[in-house]
């Protein structure tokens, strides 16, 4: 997490750095800061707790007082706290005791306590509680007078992950950078060179973007970039295919990006399916490579975090049902916690919007080490997961700005459907009429999403008015409806701060039902035809204990309390529709509770720490 931007060139750096941070703020927003070389060659720093707007205010105040933050080379950072509370003194850039080095950092230095204790024993005075400051202090301690050599000697002492931007006070106008496990890009523009943790901050300036690989370093001047490997040897690089579809997102008439992104779902799903499903024929392009010798796939594992894991929960069910392959959905962060029985007969499907989620990336690497086939479903071209997996299927959600995912989730589901259906077709486990019916349903899905959004808004508002004042809510469903309930409850809790839990409907009576009191909201998802009757019984058990029921179904015969009736679709595709009113419910509740919808507290869009 955290956003890093750096610039050196012919232009004033402050506006470039602030605008870059604006693009990166979704990565973390508890404090922000800048460090610049002044025209006289000294280093100036400005930091502020809170949103980027607080830093902008500080810059403005400084300008008004005649002390402009001037200079053509500098670094900026927007923070998501890992070590040390959000505060000005913990905000980046951090400086070494004698001011030789100023740095910004993304990632976690896992051995920072030992390094700090060692340096404190030597008399170094620390000014923050961060893990980052040890890097600045260590650079100063190991300084050789040559920043590149110092950096090369310092990095092996660091354990953990980092993307680092570094200013060395003896080389005004020069930026250094290095990375391990955290993404970092560098770029050449018309007026200079840049570095950033994310292409979004670079694309307004250039499409000439280079990806730093693990263990690599770079030196940036106004004239150009030099790359080095871990031994300090110069290396050559070619620019990456920067995400073609990324353009600066605008809210337009919408109050929030999340609401806009909810409405973008029909088009995003249509765009995603278009290359995969032409004239009702499945064709996965590059993804076909992961499915070669399909009979040799003995196990499928879906890996992801948060909503991406929820997509995997859907994938698990569909893969088993369509392809007859034992399948599981694993939380990427847990996957590495124990030994899994995976090998070359395993297909690992890594689901990630950003393509940079550290836990998912590490899970991918482990899967690859074990010899598994790896296929990723990713939204960001050029991202680490997309680059490192055997093959990738891109979702075409476009830039998703709101921290709570909506359109990326829906497009991930769409890819999962196409992937499982294609594998079933290749394995011969599903053919003829059943496959044709599924593909017919898939083709109709974007229109049905559109219809659902149109018809569900008013009832979702009515639900929100009844539910928003509660502090707890439960979401229940069976099978695919349980997977949808997981996503519905996450949406509600992350943006409205209402505590919400999802349970498999049959599990309530094994403990959870004791939590229900008079008026406790229970959202029931009843869209998987084979299990709706059973879920209905579970809902009645809740109502008998005083729960207030909110029900989603596509079965006109059910007649449930506060029922939202969804369009009937293929039973395996129902999650794509049932999730929509729950997204709207979460959004409306958050609005009624006056929450910061696009940037919920303590969260960040791209989670690049484990």
Is residue 411 involved in binding ligand F6R (CB under 6 A)? no
Q: Which residues contact 72 (CB under 8 A, 6 or more apart)?
A: 7, 8, 9, 10, 11, 12, 13, 37, 39, 173, 192, 222
> In this chain, which residue has its C-beta nearest to ligand F6R?
306
- Which of these segments, 274-282, 346-354, 388-396, 585-593, binds ligand F6R (CB under 6 A)? 346-354
Strands (E), 289-433: 299-304, 327-331, 346-352, 373-378, 391-394
Least Å from the CB of residue 206 to ligand F6R: 24
Least Å from the CB of residue 490 to ligand F6R: 6
Q: How many residues bind ligand F6R (CB under 6 A)?
A: 14
What gap in Å lies between CA 185 and CA 193, rounded to an integer? 11
Q: Quick check: is 594 catalytic?
A: no
Q: Which residue from 352, 452, 575, 608 is in contact with ligand F6R, where contact means CB under 6 A?
A: 352
Q: Which residue from 150, 182, 307, 576 is in contact with ligand F6R, where contact means CB under 6 A?
A: 307
Site for ligand F6R in 25-84 (CB under 6 A): none
How many other C-beta atoms lie within 10 A of the C-beta of residue 149?
13
Residues linked to residue 34 through DSSP beta bridges, in sequence order: 46, 76
- Which of these segments, 2-10, 82-90, 303-311, 507-515, binds ligand F6R (CB under 6 A)? 303-311
Considering the complex, state which of residue 134 and residue 404 has its C-beta at the smaller distance from ligand F6R. 404
Catalytic residue among 2, 177, 323, 542: 2
Coil, helix or strand at residue 182: coil
Q: Which residue from 163, 202, 308, 569 is in contact with ligand F6R, where contact means CB under 6 A?
A: 308
Site for ligand F6R in 469-498 (CB under 6 A): 490, 494
Considering the complex, state which of residue 175 and residue 490 has its C-beta at the smaller distance from ligand F6R. 490
Q: Which residue has the tokens 């995400």?
A: 243
Considering the complex, state which of residue 360 and residue 496 has its C-beta at the smaller distance from ligand F6R. 360
Is residue 405 involved in binding ligand F6R (CB under 6 A)? yes
Q: Which residues of 286-308 are buried (b: 16+ CB within 10 A; e: fewer)?
A: ebeebbeebeebebbbbbbbbbb
Site for ligand F6R in 267-296 (CB under 6 A): none
Cα angle 42-45-51, degrees, rounded to a multiple of 5: 160
Least Å from the CB of residue 602 to ligand F6R: 13
Is residue 353 involved in binding ligand F6R (CB under 6 A)? yes
Least Å from the CB of residue 307 to ligand F6R: 3
What gap in Å lies between CA 44 and CA 579, rounded to an integer? 49
Is residue 340 involved in binding ligand F6R (CB under 6 A)? no
- Which of these segments, 90-98, 352-360, 417-425, 509-517, binds ligand F6R (CB under 6 A)? 352-360
Q: Which residues contact 434 (CB under 8 A, 6 or more apart)?
A: none
Q: Which residue from 165, 306, 382, 600 is in contact with ligand F6R, where contact means CB under 6 A?
A: 306
Is residue 354 involved in binding ligand F6R (CB under 6 A)? yes
What gap in Å lies between CA 62 and CA 407, rounded to an integer? 41
Considering the complex, state which of residue 17 and residue 364 has its C-beta at the smaller distance from ligand F6R. 364
- Which of these segments, 192-200, 305-313, 317-325, 463-471, binds ligand F6R (CB under 6 A)? 305-313
- Which of these segments, 4-12, 167-175, 207-215, 301-309, binds ligand F6R (CB under 6 A)? 301-309
What gap in Å lies between CA 309 and CA 317, rounded to an integer? 13
Is residue 108 involved in binding ligand F6R (CB under 6 A)? no
Is residue 404 involved in binding ligand F6R (CB under 6 A)? yes
Question: Cβ distance 592 to 468 under 8 Å?
Answer: yes
What gap in Å lies between CA 46 and CA 390, rounded to an integer? 43
Least Å from the CB of residue 241 to ligand F6R: 19
Least Å from the CB of residue 296 to ligand F6R: 28
Considering the complex, state which of residue 108 and residue 136 has its C-beta at the smaller distance from ligand F6R. 108
Question: Cβ distance 548 to 466 under 8 Å?
Answer: yes
Considering the complex, state which of residue 175 and residue 311 has its C-beta at the smaller distance from ligand F6R. 311
Site for ligand F6R in 515-574 (CB under 6 A): none
Least Å from the CB of residue 496 to ligand F6R: 12
What tokens were used for 143?
């300084």
Least Å from the CB of residue 87 to ligand F6R: 25
Considering the complex, state which of residue 140 and residue 261 has its C-beta at the smaller distance from ligand F6R. 261
Considering the complex, state which of residue 220 and residue 367 has its C-beta at the smaller distance from ligand F6R. 367
Q: Is the peptide bond before 441 cis (omega within 30 degrees of 0)?
A: no
Please give the span between the terminal C-alpha atoms of the chain, in angstroms, as a whole number: 10
Considering the complex, state which of residue 18 and residue 269 has its C-beta at the smaller distance from ligand F6R. 269
Catalytic residue among 141, 407, 493, 605: 605
DSSP characters over 124-158: PPP-SS-STHHHHHHHHHT--S-HHHHHHHHGGG-
Is residue 607 involved in binding ligand F6R (CB under 6 A)? yes
Q: Which residues contact 56 (CB under 8 A, 6 or more apart)?
A: 18
Least Å from the CB of residue 352 to ligand F6R: 3
Least Å from the CB of residue 406 to ligand F6R: 8
What tokens were used for 229?
């490997």
What gap in Å lies between CA 503 and CA 89, rounded to an integer? 42
Q: Quick check: is 599 catalytic?
A: no
What gap in Å lies between CA 542 and CA 524, rounded to an integer? 10
Is residue 575 involved in binding ligand F6R (CB under 6 A)? no
525 backbone dihedrals φ, ψ, rounded to 5°: -105, 115
What gap in Å lies between CA 204 and CA 206, rounded to an integer? 6
Site for ligand F6R in 356-395 (CB under 6 A): 357, 360
What gap in Å lies between CA 156 and CA 170, rounded to an integer? 23
Least Å from the CB of residue 7 to ligand F6R: 26
Q: Which residue has the tokens 């484990």?
A: 610
What tokens were used for 336?
């590495």
Q: Which residue has the tokens 């974007």?
A: 446
Three-state SS across 87-101?
Answer: CCCCCCCEECCCCCE
What tokens were used for 140?
């100063």
Q: Which residue from 4, 103, 136, 305 is in contact with ligand F6R, where contact means CB under 6 A?
A: 305
CA-nearest of 523, 487, 483 to 504 is: 483
- Which of these segments, 50-58, 234-242, 244-252, 354-362, binds ligand F6R (CB under 6 A)? 354-362
Write out the residues near ligand F6R by the rule CB under 6 A. Answer: 305-308, 352-354, 357, 360, 404-405, 490, 494, 607
Residue numbers annotated as active site: 2, 605
């Amino acid at each position: 997490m955290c956003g890093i931007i750096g610039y050196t060139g012919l232009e004033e750096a402050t506006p470039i750095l602030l605008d870059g941070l604006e693009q990166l703020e979704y990565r973390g927003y508890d404090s922000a800061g800048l460090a610049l070389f002044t025209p006289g060659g000294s280093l100036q720093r400005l930091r502020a707790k809170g949103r980027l707007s607080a830093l902008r205010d500080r810059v403005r105040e400084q300008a008004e007082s005649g002390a402009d933050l001037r200079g053509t080379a500098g670094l900026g950072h927007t923070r998501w706290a890992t070590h040390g509370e959000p505060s000005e003194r913990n905000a980046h850039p951090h400086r070494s005791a004698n001011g030789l080095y100023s740095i910004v950092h993304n990632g976690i230095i896992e051995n920072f306590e030992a390094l700090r204790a060692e340096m404190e024993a030597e008399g170094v005075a620390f000014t923050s509680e961060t893990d980052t400051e040890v890097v600045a202090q260590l650079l100063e301690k190991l300084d050789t007078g040559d920043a590149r050599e110092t950096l090369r000697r310092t990095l092996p002492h660091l354990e953990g992950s980092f993307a680092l931007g570094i200013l060395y006070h003896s080389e005004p106008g020069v930026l250094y950078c290095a990375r391990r496990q955290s993404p970092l890009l560098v770029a050449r523009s018309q007026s200079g060179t840049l570095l950033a943790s994310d292409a979004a901050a670079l694309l307004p300036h250039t499409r000439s973007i280079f990806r730093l690989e693990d263990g690599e370093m770079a030196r940036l001047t106004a004239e150009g970039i030099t790359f080095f490997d871990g031994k300090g040897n110069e290396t050559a690089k070619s620019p990456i295919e920067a995400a073609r579809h990324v353009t600066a997102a605008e809210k337009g008439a919408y109050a929030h990006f999340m609401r806009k992104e909810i409405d973008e779902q029909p088009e995003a799903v249509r765009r995603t399916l278009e290359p995969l499903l032409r004239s009702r024929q499945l064709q996965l392009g590059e993804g076909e490579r992961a499915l070669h010798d399909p009979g040799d796939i003995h196990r499928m594992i879906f890996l992801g975090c948060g909503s991406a894991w929820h997509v995997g929960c859907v994938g698990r069910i569909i893969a088993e049902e369509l392809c007859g392959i034992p399948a599981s959905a694993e939380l990427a962060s847990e996957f590495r916690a124990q030994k899994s029985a995976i090998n070359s007969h395993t297909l690992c499907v890594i689901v990630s919007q950003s393509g940079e989620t550290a836990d998912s990336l590490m899970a991918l690497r482990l899967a690859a080490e074990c010899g598994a086939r790896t296929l990723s479903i990713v939204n960001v071209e050029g991202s680490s997961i997309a680059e490192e997996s055997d093959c990738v299927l891109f979702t075409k959600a476009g830039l998703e700005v709101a921290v709570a995912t909506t359109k990326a989730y829906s497009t991930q589901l769409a890819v999962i459907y196409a992937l499982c259906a294609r594998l079933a077709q290749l394995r011969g486990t599903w053919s003829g009429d059943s496959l044709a019916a599924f593909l017919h349903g898939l083709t109709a899905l974007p229109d049905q999403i559109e219809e659902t959004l149109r018809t569900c808004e008013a009832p979702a508002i009515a639900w929100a008015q009844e539910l928003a004042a509660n502090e707890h809510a439960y979401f229940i469903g069976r099978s695919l409806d349980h997977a949808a309930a997981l996503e519905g409850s996450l949406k509600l809790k992350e943006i409205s701060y209402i505590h919400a839990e999802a349970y498999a409907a049959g599990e309530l009576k094994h403990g959870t039902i004791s939590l229900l009191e008079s008026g406790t909201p229970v959202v029931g998802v009843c869209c998987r035809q084979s299990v709706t009757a059973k879920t209905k019984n579970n809902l009645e058990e809740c109502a008998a204990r005083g729960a207030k029921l909110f029900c989603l179904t596509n079965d006109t015969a059910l007649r449930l309390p506060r029922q939202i009736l969804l369009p009937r679709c293929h039973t395996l595709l129902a999650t794509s529709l049932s999730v929509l009113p729950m997204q709207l419910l979460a959004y409306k509740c958050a609005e009624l509770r006056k929450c910061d919808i696009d940037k919920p507290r303590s969260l960040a869009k791209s989670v690049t720490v484990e």
